[in-house]
Amino acid sequence: MATFILIHGSWHWGGCFVKVANILGAAGHAVITPDLASHGFDPTPTAAVTDISIYAAPVRTALEEIEGKAILVGHSVGGATCTWLGEEMPERIHALVYLTGFMAPAGKCARDFVMTPAYLKDPAIVESQGMLRLGKEGLGLDLSKRDLIARSLYSDCTEHDIDVALKSLVRTTPHAPFTAVSAITPHRFGRLPRHYIECLQDRGLPLAVQRDMQAAVPGAKVHQLATGHSPFLSAPEDVAEVLLGIA
């Protein structure tokens, strides 16, 4: 049986994966859903997260403590943690899975892919700018903008799931995962099996940008979900089906 480490994206917390984790667990797999530094129950102050190594430390700790290898699943900017650990600890990783995740080639970072016309001119992204606040410590989310957040991050989720998520989000994700420059090499990161799960109706990370990253880091097996940005809430059975196939 496999061990999955599910890595959340901006503003989220490990428990956002509970629906998927329950399905994987019922199938006999081990599942770890850590809170990244300054998110969820992690007490690290946002201002202290100055580097990807600090931000991703909870996932690294999980990798170090398990027996055998794990399948890392990174959602959205959680993909930056997948990339970093794929180079740092390939011997502990069975596969990397990017769930509509940021996947930067060597010398690039996640931010490079949000500064492109494919991202900035996408109508859904233009609409969502009103919910974002760029600050000294990181990328802020104005939690009072419920409708904008729902349309961007939870476009196909139930009202109940949106309410639960909004109560659990932090206001700021540190700059670290967005600005971490990828240092991947063919003999470490490059030898790991990789999968990319496209979310075809994503309003938070446009499909065109998902595909730009796949073109920049070729070699991943592509899966598709007809969902918005948060399928772990809206379509957990579909996410789990893909992950069980990878296991």
What total number of domains does the chain contain? 1
The DSSP line for 30-74 is EEE-PPPTTSTT----GGG--SHHHHTHHHHHHHHHSSS-EEEEE
Q: Report d(CA 139, CA 141) in Å as an integer.
A: 7
Please give the average per-residue pLDDT across 120-145, as a whole number.
94
Please give the average per-residue pLDDT across 236-242, as a whole number.
98
Q: Please provide the average confidence, as pLDDT, over all residues in the chain.
A: 97
pLDDT tens-place string over residues 81-124: 999 999 999 999 999 999 999 999 999 999 999 999 999 999 99
Q: Report d(CA 24, CA 30) in Å as an integer.
A: 7
Answer yes or no: pTM beyond 0.75.
yes
Q: Could you tell me the two tokens for 79?
A: 């993909």
Instruction: Determine the structural domain holding residue 27 and report its residue range.
Output: 3-246
Percent of the chain with pLDDT over 90: 99
Nearest to 113 by CA among 76, 151, 59: 76
pLDDT tens-place string over residues 13-31: 999 999 999 999 999 999 9
Distance of CA 144 to the CA centre of its chain: 23
pLDDT at position 235 is: 98
Please give the average per-residue pLDDT across 191-207, as a whole number.
98
Please give the average per-residue pLDDT across 29-37, as a whole number.
98
CATH number at residue 196: 3.40.50.1820
pLDDT at position 161 is: 97
